Protein backbone atom coordinates (compact mmCIF):
# COMPACT_ATOMS: atom_id res chain seq x y z
CA UNK A 1 0.00 0.00 0.00
CA UNK A 2 2.76 2.46 0.96
CA UNK A 3 4.60 1.70 -2.26
CA UNK A 4 1.52 2.48 -4.34
CA UNK A 5 1.03 5.80 -2.54
CA UNK A 6 4.65 6.75 -3.19
CA UNK A 7 4.30 5.98 -6.86
CA UNK A 8 1.07 8.03 -7.07
CA UNK A 9 2.75 11.04 -5.44
CA UNK A 10 5.72 10.78 -7.84
CA UNK A 11 3.44 10.56 -10.87
CA UNK A 12 1.23 13.49 -9.84
CA UNK A 13 4.12 15.82 -8.99
CA UNK A 14 5.98 14.84 -12.14
CA UNK A 15 2.95 15.50 -14.35
CA UNK A 16 2.35 18.89 -12.74
CA UNK A 17 5.95 19.89 -13.30
CA UNK A 18 5.84 18.77 -16.94
CA UNK A 19 2.56 20.59 -17.64
CA UNK A 20 3.84 23.82 -16.10
CA UNK A 21 7.13 23.57 -17.97
CA UNK A 22 5.23 22.95 -21.20
CA UNK A 23 3.14 26.06 -20.60
CA UNK A 24 6.33 28.13 -20.48
CA UNK A 25 8.20 26.49 -23.33
CA UNK A 26 5.32 25.70 -25.66
CA UNK A 27 3.15 28.85 -25.39
CA UNK A 28 1.16 30.76 -26.22
CA UNK A 29 -0.38 31.17 -22.79
CA UNK A 30 -1.88 33.83 -20.59
CA UNK A 31 -2.63 34.45 -16.95
CA UNK A 32 -6.09 35.73 -16.09
CA UNK A 33 -6.66 37.41 -12.75
CA UNK A 34 -10.20 37.58 -11.32
CA UNK A 35 -12.21 40.76 -11.78
CA UNK A 36 -13.13 42.56 -8.57
CA UNK A 37 -15.26 45.74 -8.78
CA UNK A 38 -13.76 48.83 -7.20
CA UNK A 39 -15.70 50.65 -4.52
CA UNK A 40 -17.04 53.78 -6.23
CA UNK A 41 -16.42 57.12 -4.58
CA UNK A 42 -17.31 60.76 -5.04
CA UNK A 43 -14.55 63.05 -6.29
CA UNK A 44 -15.22 66.70 -5.40
CA UNK A 45 -13.12 69.49 -6.94
CA UNK A 46 -13.41 73.27 -7.13
CA UNK A 47 -12.04 74.87 -10.29
CA UNK A 48 -11.69 78.61 -10.81
CA UNK A 49 -11.46 79.54 -14.46
CA UNK A 50 -10.51 82.66 -16.38
CA UNK A 51 -9.50 83.70 -19.85
CA UNK A 52 -7.87 86.92 -18.60
CA UNK A 53 -6.07 87.35 -15.27
CA UNK A 54 -8.33 88.03 -12.31
CA UNK A 55 -8.45 87.52 -8.56
CA UNK A 56 -7.63 83.88 -7.78
CA UNK A 57 -6.73 83.28 -11.41
CA UNK A 58 -3.38 84.81 -12.36
CA UNK A 59 -3.27 83.38 -15.90
CA UNK A 60 -5.71 81.82 -18.34
CA UNK A 61 -6.86 78.34 -17.50
CA UNK A 62 -8.41 76.40 -14.63
CA UNK A 63 -7.10 76.77 -11.10
CA UNK A 64 -7.49 74.45 -8.13
CA UNK A 65 -6.13 76.62 -5.35
CA UNK A 66 -2.60 77.52 -6.46
CA UNK A 67 -2.36 74.73 -9.05
CA UNK A 68 -2.95 75.67 -12.68
CA UNK A 69 -4.72 73.08 -14.85
CA UNK A 70 -4.54 70.23 -12.31
CA UNK A 71 -4.67 66.60 -13.31
CA UNK A 72 -8.05 65.17 -12.33
CA UNK A 73 -7.91 61.44 -11.62
CA UNK A 74 -11.01 59.29 -11.10
CA UNK A 75 -12.01 55.65 -11.46
CA UNK A 76 -14.63 54.41 -13.87
CA UNK A 77 -18.01 54.60 -12.13
CA UNK A 78 -17.02 57.34 -9.69
CA UNK A 79 -19.28 60.33 -9.17
CA UNK A 80 -17.49 63.55 -10.12
CA UNK A 81 -18.72 66.75 -8.49
CA UNK A 82 -17.22 69.97 -9.86
CA UNK A 83 -17.76 73.43 -8.44
CA UNK A 84 -16.95 75.84 -11.27
CA UNK A 85 -16.29 79.53 -10.75
CA UNK A 86 -15.64 82.31 -13.22
CA UNK A 87 -12.95 84.56 -11.75
CA UNK A 88 -13.07 87.10 -14.57
CA UNK A 89 -16.90 87.26 -14.63
CA UNK A 90 -16.83 86.28 -18.29
CA UNK A 91 -19.06 83.49 -19.56
CA UNK A 92 -17.46 80.01 -19.63
CA UNK A 93 -18.58 76.46 -20.30
CA UNK A 94 -16.60 73.55 -18.87
CA UNK A 95 -16.27 70.32 -20.85
CA UNK A 96 -14.55 66.95 -20.50
CA UNK A 97 -13.99 66.31 -24.18
CA UNK A 98 -14.61 62.57 -24.43
CA UNK A 99 -15.27 62.51 -28.18
CA UNK A 100 -12.49 65.00 -29.02
CA UNK A 101 -14.76 67.39 -30.92
CA UNK A 102 -14.38 70.41 -28.64
CA UNK A 103 -18.14 70.88 -28.42
CA UNK A 104 -20.69 69.50 -25.99
CA UNK A 105 -22.40 66.28 -27.03
CA UNK A 106 -24.28 63.47 -25.33
CA UNK A 107 -21.00 61.67 -24.54
CA UNK A 108 -19.28 64.71 -22.99
CA UNK A 109 -19.76 65.86 -19.39
CA UNK A 110 -20.53 69.52 -19.98
CA UNK A 111 -21.64 72.34 -17.69
CA UNK A 112 -24.18 75.02 -18.32
CA UNK A 113 -22.68 78.34 -19.47
CA UNK A 114 -21.78 80.39 -16.39
CA UNK A 115 -20.27 83.76 -15.53
CA UNK A 116 -20.23 83.39 -11.74
CA UNK A 117 -20.57 79.88 -10.27
CA UNK A 118 -22.21 76.61 -11.25
CA UNK A 119 -22.10 72.90 -10.38
CA UNK A 120 -21.43 69.96 -12.68
CA UNK A 121 -22.02 66.44 -11.39
CA UNK A 122 -21.64 63.35 -13.54
CA UNK A 123 -20.68 59.69 -13.43
CA UNK A 124 -17.33 58.82 -14.98
CA UNK A 125 -18.68 56.10 -17.25
CA UNK A 126 -16.35 56.76 -20.16
CA UNK A 127 -13.70 54.22 -21.15
CA UNK A 128 -10.49 54.20 -19.10
CA UNK A 129 -7.94 56.60 -20.52
CA UNK A 130 -6.94 60.25 -20.54
CA UNK A 131 -9.08 63.08 -21.87
CA UNK A 132 -8.86 66.81 -22.45
CA UNK A 133 -10.87 69.29 -20.44
CA UNK A 134 -11.49 72.82 -21.53
CA UNK A 135 -13.78 75.79 -21.92
CA UNK A 136 -15.85 75.46 -25.08
CA UNK A 137 -15.77 79.26 -25.51
CA UNK A 138 -12.12 80.16 -24.92
CA UNK A 139 -9.31 78.20 -26.62
CA UNK A 140 -6.69 79.46 -24.14
CA UNK A 141 -8.47 77.46 -21.40
CA UNK A 142 -7.86 74.15 -23.18
CA UNK A 143 -6.10 71.54 -20.99
CA UNK A 144 -4.81 68.49 -22.91
CA UNK A 145 -4.82 64.98 -21.42
CA UNK A 146 -5.33 65.96 -17.80
CA UNK A 147 -8.58 64.12 -17.02
CA UNK A 148 -7.60 60.52 -16.22
CA UNK A 149 -10.08 57.67 -15.84
CA UNK A 150 -8.73 54.49 -14.26
CA UNK A 151 -10.41 51.09 -14.75
CA UNK A 152 -13.43 50.50 -12.55
CA UNK A 153 -12.33 46.98 -11.63
CA UNK A 154 -9.30 45.37 -10.05
CA UNK A 155 -7.85 42.36 -11.87
CA UNK A 156 -9.53 40.69 -14.82
CA UNK A 157 -6.37 41.33 -16.84
CA UNK A 158 -5.10 38.85 -19.41
CA UNK A 159 -1.35 39.22 -19.53
CA UNK A 160 0.27 38.58 -22.94
CA UNK A 161 3.14 36.15 -23.38
CA UNK A 162 5.68 38.90 -23.91
CA UNK A 163 5.22 40.20 -20.37
CA UNK A 164 8.53 39.32 -18.73
CA UNK A 165 7.20 38.91 -15.23
CA UNK A 166 4.68 36.25 -16.33
CA UNK A 167 7.67 34.07 -17.13
CA UNK A 168 8.99 34.69 -13.64
CA UNK A 169 5.69 33.60 -12.10
CA UNK A 170 5.40 30.47 -14.20
CA UNK A 171 9.06 29.58 -13.68
CA UNK A 172 8.58 29.93 -9.93
CA UNK A 173 5.68 27.46 -10.08
CA UNK A 174 7.75 24.94 -11.99
CA UNK A 175 10.70 25.29 -9.59
CA UNK A 176 8.39 24.83 -6.61
CA UNK A 177 6.84 21.69 -8.12
CA UNK A 178 10.21 20.20 -9.00
CA UNK A 179 11.42 21.01 -5.50
CA UNK A 180 8.40 19.26 -4.00
CA UNK A 181 9.08 16.27 -6.26
CA UNK A 182 12.70 16.06 -5.09
CA UNK A 183 11.74 16.43 -1.43
CA UNK A 184 9.17 13.68 -1.81
CA UNK A 185 11.83 11.41 -3.30
CA UNK A 186 14.21 12.14 -0.42
CA UNK A 187 11.52 11.70 2.21
CA UNK A 188 10.22 8.39 0.98
CA UNK A 189 13.75 7.23 0.19
CA UNK A 190 14.82 7.79 3.80
CA UNK A 191 11.79 6.02 5.12
CA UNK A 192 12.55 3.05 2.90
CA UNK A 193 16.27 2.94 3.73
CA UNK A 194 15.63 3.40 7.45
CA UNK A 195 13.46 0.34 7.83
CA UNK A 196 15.20 -2.63 9.51
CA UNK A 197 15.72 -5.55 7.25
CA UNK A 198 13.79 -8.68 8.10
CA UNK A 199 15.97 -11.77 7.98
CA UNK A 200 14.82 -14.46 5.70
CA UNK A 201 13.51 -17.53 7.43
CA UNK A 202 14.43 -20.92 6.16
CA UNK A 203 11.46 -23.11 5.35
CA UNK A 204 10.48 -25.53 8.01
CA UNK A 205 11.11 -29.14 7.33
For residues 60 and 97, membership in a common domain is answered with yes
CB 109, CB 93: distance < 8 Å: no
Asked whether residue 176 carries a pLDDT value surpassing 90, the answer given is: no
DSSP 3-state of 128: coil
Residue at 197 is within a domain: no
pLDDT digits (tens, 9 = 90+) for 92-136: 999 999 999 999 999 999 999 999 999 999 999 999 999 999 999
Give the total residue count for the chain.
205
pLDDT score at 165:
56
DSSP 3-state of 80: strand
For residues 117 and 42, membership in a common domain is answered with yes
Q: For the chain, state the CA radius of gyration.
A: 32
Range of the domain at 42: 36-155
Residue at 120 is within a domain: yes
Name the H helices within the chain: 2-26, 164-194
CB 115, CB 153: distance < 8 Å: no
pLDDT digits (tens, 9 = 90+) for 36-47: 776 889 999 999
CA atoms of 126 and 104, how far apart (whole Å): 15
Amino acid sequence: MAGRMRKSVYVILGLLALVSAGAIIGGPYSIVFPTIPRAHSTVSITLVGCTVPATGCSSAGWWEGSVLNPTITVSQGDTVSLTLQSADRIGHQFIVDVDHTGTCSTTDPCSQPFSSITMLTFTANMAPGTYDYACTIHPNMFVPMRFTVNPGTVGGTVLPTNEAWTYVVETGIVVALIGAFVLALLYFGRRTSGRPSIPEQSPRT
